[in-house]
Amino acid sequence: MKRLFCLLLLVGILAAGCVAPTPDQPQSGAVVQGSTAAPTEPPTTATPLSVGIADTPAETATETPSPPTAPATPLPLATDTPAPSATPTAGPTTAPTETPTPLPPTTPTPAPTQTPYPTGIFVASHRGFSDGTHYFVVGEVLNTAGFPVFGVKVIANFYDSGGKQVAAGQALTSLAMTEPEVGNPFKLKVENLAAAVARYELSVTWEDVSLIEFRPLAVLEGEVRQDAVVGQIRNEQESALTSIVVAVTFYDATGAVVDSADIFLGGQTLAPGATLPFAIPIAGDDRVYDHFWIEAQGNLNLF
């Protein structure tokens, strides 16, 4: 029985056709179709196994040539790149203070230059007007000669619209002495000629010397009322003054004469240091003016 078992065992081995390979040694040959295992190396021609059974030789696998491999470009040798020199870190930069752009120098606008007066004695400002019946010319004589003159007379010639002279008139200035750089008012009237006058011309005459000495008086105060200009004067001279005249001139904002009036205090003698009230009559209160100027003058009393 034992021999029979051994015989059967031997027959079974022969029927298997080969001896099973040792598990530790890999088997070479073609990859079995349907296997998911990827070959580990290119396939080679399979060697048929001779195990006593007619074995169908396996197809010789055609090796697919690998594409030529480009020669490897040698990498450049690594060179030590010198570390950049340490640049000293600057401290915080302070923004430069902006220098203000200087403005161009401002050229002051010059005040309007007044037309320079000529040297001599002349009418500096005047105005002609009518009250419906009479024609008036008021103005101011100015002395730029540098010395006083006396008895200044203003002469007026009147013309109609056709250039024909229709009247003439004259008037003395309010004060007998016209001092340098001090205006002296005048007022001239032509009666019953209001409608005929279209224009007029003025001229002046004067005397360089006088037998009478004149002195100015100080005006302490002055006020314009409805029918008069009232105030007070004082004699600040060393001698008494007589034949006193007080005059007022009204001006507009530009300094042009608007009107004038005066009063003669013939019977008064004013001692040195003494004061005297005055009242200059004015006609109506409808004049339009900006400011006024009061001045007074007397004769030196030698007796």
Cβ pair 242, 301 in contact under 8 A:
yes
CA pseudo-torsion sign 251, 252, 254, 259: negative
Q: Cα(251)–Cα(259) distance, rounded to whole angstroms? A: 7
Count CB neighbours of 246 within 10 A: 26
Q: 84: number of CA atoms within 13 Å, CB side?
A: 3
The span from the CA of 214 to the CA of 90, in Å, is 90
What integer pLDDT is reported at residue 5 of this predicted model? Answer: 57
**What is the pLDDT, as a whole number, of residue 284?**
74
Q: What is the pLDDT of residue 64?
A: 44
CA–chain centroid gap for 257, Å, is 38
> What b/e sequence results for 168-200 when a residue is b if at least 16 CB atoms lie within 10 Å of its CB, and e otherwise?
ebebebbbbbbbeebbbbbbbebeebeeebeeb
Q: What is the number of H-type helices and E-type strands within the chain?
A: 1, 13
Q: Which helix (H) or strand (E) holds 289?
A: none
pLDDT of residue 195: 83
Find out if CATH 2.60.40.10 is the number for domain 121-207: yes
Q: pTM above 0.95?
A: no
For the chain, which residues make up each domain, given as ranges? 121-207, 214-300
Residue 3: the pLDDT is 57
Q: Which CATH class is domain 214-300?
A: mainly beta
pLDDT along the chain (303 residues), means of 10: 55 48 40 37 38 38 44 44 44 47 46 63 95 94 96 97 95 98 95 89 96 96 94 96 97 96 93 97 85 96 67
Task: Say how far apart CA 272 and CA 15 lie, in whole Å.
Answer: 179
Indicate if 214-300 has the same CATH topology as 121-207: yes
DSSP secondary structure of 219-270 = EEEEEE-SSEEEEEEE--SSS-EEEEEEEEEEE-TTS-EEEEEEEEEEEEEE
